[in-house]
Amino acid sequence: MQIDMSYGSGGKQTSDLIQEVFLDAFHNKILDRMEDAAVLEVKGKIAYTTDSFVVTPMFFPGGDIGKLAVCGTVNDLSVMGAVPKYLTAGFILEEGVSLETLKRVTASMAKAAKEAKVQIVAGDTKVVEGRGGIYINTSGIGEVIKSGISISNCRAGDLVLLSGNLGEHHAAILSSRMGIENSIHSDCAPLNSMVLKLLEEEIDIHCMRDVTRGGLATVLNEAAEKSGCRIQLTEEALPVSKEVKGFCDILGLDPLYMANEGKLLAVIPEKQAERALNIMKASRYGKNAAVIGRVTEGLSEKQTRGVVMTTALKGTRRIDVLYGEGLPRIC
C-alpha cells in the first residue's frame, strides 16, 4: 500500500496512519495521550536541539534515515554534556512512499530510541507531491549534567581524542550511490552511553563535538578558531579502517573531510586523557578510539591559530575547513 495525498488531509486516513504506523512504533505514556503538546518532567538545565534528515539512499549499509534521525539528535545533545530524554519527530512524506517502507523506517527509529533510552513524545506528518521520499526532522531535549563543555573551551596542553575510525558513513553512502560493493558500513550510532560514562568518571571534558558533515577537519578548525588556539594533529594517529583507506585512495578522498555519524571528538586535560581513552575504548562504539593530537598554543595572534598536521613523512600540512559543497544529502 502506498501513501497518497489523502493521508495528509487531517481526516480519517491521517488518524489511521498515526495509529497504525507512528503510535504502533513509538508508543509510550506521553505520546499515547495524543494531546496537542507533550508535557514533560525535566530536571534543571536543559539542552535543546533540532536537525533535519534528507539522506539518499534512505537505506544504506549500517543504517537508514530513521536510525540517523534519532542518533543525530541524541549525539548533538550528548556532546553538550546532556543526557538525552525526549525527542519529537516530524515527517514529510512524498506521495508514493509505501507503507512498508515507512514502517521499516519507524521501526528503525524505535530501535535506536530504545537503545539511546529516549522517548519520542510528539510528532507530525505532512504528505506532499513527489516520488516516494521520506524526510524527517527530530528535535530533542536533554538534561545537562555537565555545564561548560564548549567549542570555545580548548586550552593549551589539552589532548584531542577521537572516538573511532573516520569516514565510514560518508564512504558507505558514496558506495551505495555509486553501486560499489564493499564491506563498508556507516558508523551511525548513539554516543550517549559513552559520553555518560566519561562524565560519570568525572573526566573534565573541555570541548566535545560529534564529527558529522564537513568531517574532522572542519570541526577542529572551528574549535581552533573559537578557542583562539592551534591544534596539532598527528597523521599516523588518525584511525581509519583499511577498507575506507583503500576506498579513499581509489577515489581521491581525504578521511579528514568525510562525514561520520557515530564519532565524537573530545578535548581533555592531558592528565586525564589516558583514563578517558580507556573509557572510550571500553564502550560499544569506541573501540578504535585514539589520541590524535594536542592543543599546542592559546595565543591570540592569527598566525598561531588553526589546525596543523604532522604527516607520516614528518612534514607539516595545514588543514583547512571544507570548501565547496562536499557530498550532498549525506544526512
Give the binding site for Mg ion (CB under 5 A): 76, 210
| Nearest-approach distance from CB 210 to Mg ion, in angstroms | 4
Instruction: Give how far Cα 85 sits from Cα of 208, 238, 279, Å.
Output: 19, 32, 23
| Nearest-approach distance from CB 96 to Mg ion, in angstroms | 32
d(Cα 90, Cα 75) in Å, to the nearest integer?
18
d(Cα 18, Cα 58) in Å, to the nearest integer?
21
**Torsion over CA of 64, 69, 73 and 79, rounded to 10 degrees?**
10
Nearer to Mg ion, 76 or 95 (CB): 76
| Nearest-approach distance from CB 213 to Mg ion, in angstroms | 9
| Nearest-approach distance from CB 194 to Mg ion, in angstroms | 15
Q: Going by DSSP bridges, is the β-strand pair 119-128/82-94 parallel, antiparallel, or unpaired? A: parallel
Nearer to Mg ion, 76 or 261 (CB): 76
| Nearest-approach distance from CB 217 to Mg ion, in angstroms | 15
Length of the chain: 331
Cis peptide leading into residue 57 (ω within 30°): yes
Helix (H) or strand (E) holding 242: helix 242-251
In the chain, which ranges are continuous DSSP H helix? Answer: 12-17, 24-26, 29-32, 65-78, 99-116, 168-178, 192-200, 215-227, 242-251, 270-282
Task: Give the CA radius of gyration of the chain.
Answer: 21
Q: Around Cβ 29, how many Cβ atoms within 10 Å?
A: 8
Terminal Cα-to-Cα distance of the chain (whole angstroms): 27
| Nearest-approach distance from CB 76 to Mg ion, in angstroms | 4
Nearer to Mg ion, 76 or 168 (CB): 76
Which DSSP state fits 266?
Answer: E
Check if the beta carbon of residue 294 is closer than 8 Å to that of residue 231: yes
Check if the beta carbon of residue 213 is closer than 8 Å to that of residue 324: no
| Nearest-approach distance from CB 216 to Mg ion, in angstroms | 13
Nearer to Mg ion, 101 or 138 (CB): 138
